[in-house]
Amino acid sequence: MDKLQIVGGKRLDGDITISGAKNAALPILCAGLLTAGDLVLTNVPHLHDVKTMLKLLAQTGLAVKQEGETVTLNGAAIDTLEAPYELVKTMRASILVLGPLLARFGQAKVSLPGGCAIGSRPVDQHIKGLEALGAEITIEGGYIYAKCAKLKGASIRTEMITVTGTENLLMAATLADGETILENAAQEPEVTDLANLLVAMGAKIDGIGTGRLVIQGVAALHGASHAVISDRIEAATFLCAVAATGGDILLRNTRTDIMDAALDKLRDIGLVMEVGADTIRATMNGRPRPVSFSTTEYPGFPTDMQAQFMAVNTIAGGASRVTETIFENRFMHVQEMNRLGAAIRIDGNTASISGVARLRGAPVMATDLRASASLVIAAMAADGTTIIDRIYHLDRGYDRMEVKLSAVGADIVRLQ
Ligand code: EPU
């Protein structure tokens, strides 16, 4: 299993190009199931989760062609309406094939995703929503069996805001008979990116970017071209890195208009930023200031940045409190940061952090994607050498992170 070896204490200096967003690319690839036409997708990031999704889609009969960051899909010859356990168990986003397969072919068999390191993450809202659209759904032997003659538009209010739940129902509704109203819809920019692609494919969607999506079903969708939105979480992760190590970096290919919550907190930390339309120049000198926050749905502070900001807080000049409201078990990085000398206490869903003057390198273990990124940041700020084990989590969602970081001066190598 690959590990990362990081020698801390290096300032970061140079340019980093941000990749396409994982959480936009995954649903957008699934939209390839909705049409017999060609979908040409650019700015698709090189990620393990993208590979897994392409493997899952290819086994349905979807034609997949990948050249660098461009993926071309063609769904004219889909013949297997199934997502097997072997693939779904490695990536929960596989559930996103359910809505499209059902809507276009009237049938799907998708493994139930199992447990997850950050929370139980049920998919009951996806299932209830599809039932409201007229699907007959049974669960047997760990599989969701869904069928319908033709989905019918309905008014659906999910019990909580769910990102992939909104995406699954949105994709399904594009091919349903009549009007669907999705209330309490997720407003994440990645949902908006998917909706924009669906419109380019001929879907009729109003309220894009709001919590109320109104979809008029159409008989068929056609091919389209689309560039995947820039990854706001990757960009903010690198900004946290420079906030922790000090330095001067320029991020390219960013979407600064969708990062307000993170940028506001980074300013409070003391990061000085010049924000352009698609670039951010960030400079940091001196010790970070502590920031307290609570995670919430977009446009609030993203749960996917909680761990990385906590890494900065561990070495800040004062105390902070971080509350996680989206997932019930997303503090797995805390024990590992404490192994590096951090002073973090957990009480329920709130972590209290007392900033320490220095962290010290130690062997640590990555437990999930964003926890891994937070350990990379902590290790870069620590004195001495840190070895991070189980780095495959990082490869799922960051495009060659150690390559991008060593290009701007970090001392980071992959041990195979
Ligand atoms: N929930 C339910 N029932 C459902 C759906 C969700 O109870 O049917 C609960 C979840 O357990 C959770 C909350 O609702 O407590 C919100 O979950 P959501 O469905 O929004 O999460 P998700 O769609 O499974 C996506 C991202 C996550 C990100 C969350 C929250 C993708 C592929 N994944 O997950 O990304 O943390 O939204 O923003 O888009 C990551 O990139 O590291 C990551 C985990």
CA 112 to chain centre: 20
User: Any bridge partners for residue 5, and if so which?
Assistant: 387, 413
Q: Among positive and negative, which fits the CA dihedral 147, 153, 155, 158?
A: positive
pLDDT at 116: 75
What amino acid occupies position 252?
R
- What residue's CA is closest to ligand 1, atom 7? 122
pLDDT at 117: 83
User: Any bridge partners for residue 109, and if so which?
Assistant: 82, 145
- What residue's CA is closest to ligand 1, atom 6? 162
Q: State yes or no: is 116 an active-site residue.
A: yes
**pTM here?**
0.98
Structure tokens at 353: 């952090």
pLDDT at 351: 98
- What residue's CA is closest to ligand 1, atom 17? 162
- Residue 147 phi/psi, 5° resolution? -150, 160
CA distance 69 to 300: 30
Task: For a ligand 1 pocket test, name from 97, 159, 164, 233 the mutation site with the most ligand atoms within 8 angstroms of its C-beta.
Answer: 164
- Residue 22 phi/psi, 5° resolution? -55, -50
Q: How do the residues of the chain divide into helix, strand and coil, expressed in percent and rounded to 5?
A: 35, 30, 35
Task: For a ligand 1 pocket test, name from 28, 125, 160 the mutation site with the most ligand atoms within 8 angstroms of its C-beta.
Answer: 160
pLDDT per residue, tens digit, the chain (416 aa), is: 899 999 999 999 999 999 999 999 999 999 999 999 999 999 999 999 999 999 999 999 999 999 999 999 999 999 999 999 999 999 999 999 999 999 999 999 999 987 678 888 899 999 999 999 999 999 999 999 999 999 999 999 999 999 999 999 999 999 999 999 999 999 999 999 999 999 999 999 999 999 999 999 999 999 999 999 999 999 999 999 999 999 999 999 999 999 999 999 999 999 999 999 899 999 999 999 999 999 999 999 999 999 999 999 999 999 999 999 999 989 999 999 999 999 999 999 999 999 999 999 999 999 999 999 999 999 999 999 999 999 999 999 999 999 999 999 999 999 98
- What residue's CA is closest to ligand 1, atom 28? 304
Q: Among positive and negative, which fits the CA dihedral 171, 174, 177, 180?
A: positive
**Nearest residue to 10 via CA among 381, 361, 272:** 381
Residues at CB less than 6 angstroms from ligand 1: 22-23, 26, 92-93, 119, 121-126, 160, 162-165, 303-304, 326-327, 369-370, 397
Task: Tell which atom from ligand 1 comes closest to the C-alpha of 96.
Answer: 32
Task: Tell which atom from ligand 1 comes closest to the C-alpha of 326.
Answer: 15
Q: What spacing in Å lies between the alpha carbon of 300 and ligand 1's midpoint? A: 15
CA distance 284 to 290: 14
Q: What spacing in Å lies between the alpha carbon of 234 and ligand 1's midpoint? A: 17
CA distance 144 to 298: 29
pLDDT at 87: 92
Structure tokens at 51: 């590979």
Q: What is the DSSP letter of 229?
A: P
CA 231 to chain centre: 8
Task: For a ligand 1 pocket test, name from 97, 144, 326, 392 the mutation site with the most ligand atoms within 8 angstroms of its C-beta.
Answer: 326
